[in-house]
Chain A
Amino acid sequence: MSKNVNSTQFRTVDVDAYDEDNYEDEAKETGDSGAAEVTERANQVRGLLNQLKTKEALKMALQNPPVGNKDASVKEQNYETVVSVLKSFKAADIDGAVADLDMVEVDILMKYLYKGFTCSPDKAASLLQWHEKVVAKGGLGSIVRVMVDRKGI
């Protein structure tokens, strides 16, 4: 049979761009962190970790994530802060730390865990240890809220 030599360029057309009623998320001004706050928080967390105050460090790291920020490096920086705290925990202490968090912080931690699964798959084993404890506290609902989140953390 003859080979198809016609152009398949049409497959790369973004049809949504031509749809007048296409749904776009609103770009809302929210009170989440800017670059300065993220750096400030990173320093504070490092300080707490040096004093071996791991639980306080975790709570601090999960405050006000830069969700609405368009700058990827700011989000990356906050992610590194959270990962550094998670790394500093011994397996036995994870339970106690998760018990201290409220539901909003549990949701934020879950979002960072899933970001960790995609960005740092090599750390998956330790992240899964955290995942088990966080699901025990936040339930399947906290996982659903990660899936449903439209703005990446």
Chain B
Amino acid sequence: MTTKTEQQLFVGSPVTSHAFNGALDKLVVSDNSTTVYVYAKDANGKWTKETELQKHIERVKCVDWAPKTNRIATCAGDRNAYVWNLNETTGVWEPSLVLLRIERAATYIRWSPAEDRFAVGSGARLLSVCFYENEHDWWVSKHIKKPIRSTILCVDWHPSNYILAIGSCDFKCRVFSSALKETNDKPETSGWMPKLSKFATMLAEFSTQGWVHSVKFSPSGDKLAWVAHDASINIVHMNNHDTVIRSLTPSLPLLTVIWASEDSVICGGHDNFPSLFNIVGGESVSKGIRLDVKGKKAGGGMSAMARFKALDRTGDDTKDASLDTTHQNSIIELRVKKSDSAGKCSQFSSIGMDGKIVDWNLDALASSIADLKI
């Protein structure tokens, strides 16, 4: 089994956001421009460009694909979001505008688990939860504003569809109720929501020292993990909001986190490689296990031409300028591709500022890295 498959999607631009369709044979990505690209897997397993979705007039910040209903949602700095529906007969993705009613750029977008609504975070210090209004045939939004005091960087939905977590630049991670009267929601009480709360009620608030870059609920929804710019990983259980398991890592700040199982997380960030962290005894987090195994460079030698060129330019003919990690720049986003019913992840993907997309096989990694236990 190969542990990882990498592909250079873009040269000279980062892959800022990505999402897969339900069958994992199509990919939607943005390259920090106004265009959104849909790629399809060809016969060799390589991603090849299929179509371009061009509607935004400012750079696209985030994309998401709803696997069951097959819809793409995109949001951009032009303060708009579009929901793209695939026209089965023509094969064309048709956009429909979402009225976000925000005065600043939209920064993050995520479909809910039931795919009947999605959340859009923005620089306007508020979150728009958008749902479809049948009478008018458009998407309308309701805002969650208080007490968020700065740009929202990340959002994650709880599996119940009625609770969401928001990480923002005001150094806080918060959990809100998103149960809407308009869609006849019937939420149940849980550890996060002990009393039935209406839309926009804040259920929990946690502080960190840095911007909260990424937040994720565990597969069951009982735990919440977030990574912040103070190079920390924070995990909390819904039944005990006062005990936040904080791991002050010795690495550079992490930018993205996903759950590999109910008790372990995989994070990636400015160190350019994904690491696995296990929750030990429900109280602490283990040291990160680097999942990007340093491979020995085959051959190692440079051609004679390359040596003289390097000698002429830099006065040194021995150095190879590339880093020993797969990603040559920060990892921007991780996505779980395949996981079993218990939430144990077997395959995940990463995109980076170097324009690469890497597909990681956790089962293969588990056998190749000696002390890797998930």
Contacts and interface: CB of A to CB of B under 8 A. Distances in A.
B252 A140 contact: yes
A23 interface: yes
A104 B170 CA distance: 23
A104 B251 contact: no
Interface string A16-48: 000001010000000000000000000000000
Contacts of B249: 139, 141
A140 B250 contact: yes
A104 B253 CA distance: 17
B148 to A, nearest CB: 11
Interface residues of B, number: 16
Main secondary structure of the interface of B (DSSP, over half): loop
Range of interface residues on A (Cβ < 8 Å):
10 to 19
A103 B249 CA distance: 9
A134 B252 CA distance: 15
Interface string B236-254: 0000000000001111110
Contacts of B170: 23
A148 B170 CA distance: 13
If over half of A's interface residues share one DSSP class (helix, strand or loop), that class is named, otherwise mixed; here it is: helix
Given A23-B150, A150-B209, A144 B252 contact: yes
Interface in A133-153: 137-142, 144-145, 148-150
Nearest to A26: B207
Contacts of A107: 248
Interface string B251-269: 1110000000000000000
A21 B125 contact: yes
A21 B169 CA distance: 14
A107 B149 CA distance: 27
B29 interface: no
A141 B150 contact: no
21 contacts: A21-B125, A21-B149, A23-B149, A138-B250, A139-B249, A139-B251, A140-B250, A140-B252, A141-B248, A141-B252, A142-B250, A144-B229, A144-B230, A144-B252, A144-B253, A145-B230, A145-B232, A148-B229, A148-B230, A149-B209, A149-B230
Interface of A: 21, 23, 103-104, 107, 137-142, 144-145, 148-150
Given A141-B232, A144-B229, A148-B230, 20 more contacts: A21-B125, A23-B149, A23-B150, A23-B170, A139-B250, A140-B231, A140-B250, A140-B252, A141-B231, A141-B250, A144-B230, A144-B231, A144-B253, A145-B209, A145-B230, A145-B231, A145-B248, A148-B209, A148-B229, A150-B209
